[in-house]
């Protein structure tokens, strides 16, 4: 049983947008499972062309499909404090809103 929640992801960056390949790179520092210690169980990356889909109806928002990952795997995670990098294909042009959540083993 966990006594503490995972630490927050405070440095998420979405950059290196490649318009020709329709890819975006997400980088952040891996949080810990118990605050800043250990590893989270996995990550959830959801995306939408409408920010209210993510904030008002999170459960219904589209999770980035595993086939969209060019680099990175949400089920393989780094130790707390290490760098995480995900490169995702985006299928539609437009302004994407991305939401990243970490899961610990009690969720």
* Per-residue pLDDT, 85: 92
Tally the domains of the chain.
Answer: 1
Residue 6 lies in a domain: no
* Per-residue pLDDT, 81: 92
* Per-residue pLDDT, 36: 86
Residue 98 lies in a domain: yes
pLDDT more than 90, % of the chain: 12
Residue 3 lies in a domain: no
* Per-residue pLDDT, 35: 84
Residue numbers of the domain that contains 43? 13-103
* Per-residue pLDDT, 29: 92
CATH number for the domain including 33?
2.60.40
Find out whether 45 and 99 touch, Cβ atoms under 8 Å: yes
Q: Which of 106, 35, 23, 33 is nearest to 69 (CA)?
A: 23
> Can you list the residues of the chain whose pLDDT is less than 50?
107
The Cα 40–Cα 85 span in angstroms is: 15
Find out whether 49 and 92 touch, Cβ atoms under 8 Å: yes
Span 9-37, pLDDT tens digits: 889 898 877 888 888 899 999 988 888 88
């Amino acid at each position: 049983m966990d006594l503490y929640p995972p630490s927050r992801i405070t440095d998420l960056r979405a950059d290196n947008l490649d318009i020709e390949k329709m890819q975006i790179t997400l980088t952040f520092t891996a949080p810990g499972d118990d605050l800043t210690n250990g590893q989270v169980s996995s990550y959830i990356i959801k995306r939408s062309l409408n920010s209210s889909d993510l904030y008002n109806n999170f459960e219904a928002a589209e999770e980035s499909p595993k086939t969209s990952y060019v680099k990175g795997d949400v089920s393989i995670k780094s130790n707390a404090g290490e760098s995480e990098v995900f490169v995702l294909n985006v299928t539609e042009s437009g302004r994407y809103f991305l939401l990243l959540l970490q899961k610990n083993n009690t969720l």
